[in-house]
Amino acid sequence: MKLAKRVEALTPSSTLAITAKAKELKAAGHDVIGLGAGEPDFNTPQYIIDAAVKSMEEGHTKYTPAAGLPALKEAVIGKLKQDQGLDYKASEIFVGTGAKHVLFTLFQALLDEGDEVIIPTPYWVSYPEQVKLASGEPIYVTGHEESGFKLTPDQLEKAVTNKTKAVIINSPSNPTGAMYSPDELKALGDVALKHDLLIVSDEIYEKLIYDGASHTSIAELSPELKAQTFVINGVSKSHSMTGWRIGYAAGDQTLIKAMTNLASHSTSNPTTSAQYGAIAAYTKEDGSVETMRQAFEERLNASYEKLIQIPGVSCVKPQGAFYLFPNVRETVEMCGFTDVDSWVEALLEEEKVALVPGSGFGSPDNVRLSYATSLDQFLAALERIERFVLTKIKG
Ligand X SMILES: Cc1ncc(COP(=O)(O)O)c(C=O)c1O
CB nearer to ligand X: give 40 or 392. 40
Taking CB under 6 A as the criterion, which residues in 206-235 touch ligand X? 234
Q: Give the range of 5-13, 92-100, 248-256, 277-285 binding ligand X by CB under 6 A.
A: 92-100
Name beta bridge partners: 327: 314, 366
Among 15, 155, 164, 170, binds ligand X (CB under 6 A): 170
Contact pick of 104, 124, 180, 282 for ligand X (by CB under 6 A): 124
- Least Å distance, CB 68 to ligand X, is 14
Residue of 195, 208, 141 whose CA lies nearest to 168: 141
Residue (98 or 362) nearer to ligand X, CB: 98
- Tell me if 247 sits within 8 A of 236, measured CB to CB: yes
Residue 83: which of 174, 211, 216, 182 has the closest Cα? 216
Contact, 209 vs 172, CB < 8 A? Answer: yes
Where does this chain touch ligand X (CB under 6 A) — which range of 2-10, 58-66, 94-102, 298-306? Answer: 94-102
- Residue from 66, 77, 99, 389 binding ligand X (CB under 6 A): 99
C-beta closer to ligand X: residue 170 or 327: 170
Shortest reach from residue 175's CB to ligand X, in Å: 8
Nearest to 14 by CA among 364, 293, 329: 364
Cβ closer to ligand X: 249 or 389? 249
Distance, CA of 229 to CA of 195 (rounded, Å): 13
Looking only at the bridges linking them, the beta strands covering 137-142 and 116-121 are parallel
Q: Is 326 in the site for ligand X (CB under 6 A)?
A: no
DSSP letter string, 258-292 = HHHHHHHTTTSSS-HHHHHHHHHHHH---SHHHHH
The answer to whether 239 and 46 are in contact (CB under 8 A) is: no
From 19-27, 58-66, 95-103, 187-195, span contacting ligand X (CB under 6 A): 95-103
**Residue whose Cβ sits closest to ligand X:** 98
Contact positions vs ligand X (CB under 6 A): 38, 98-100, 124, 170, 174, 202, 204, 234, 236, 242, 247
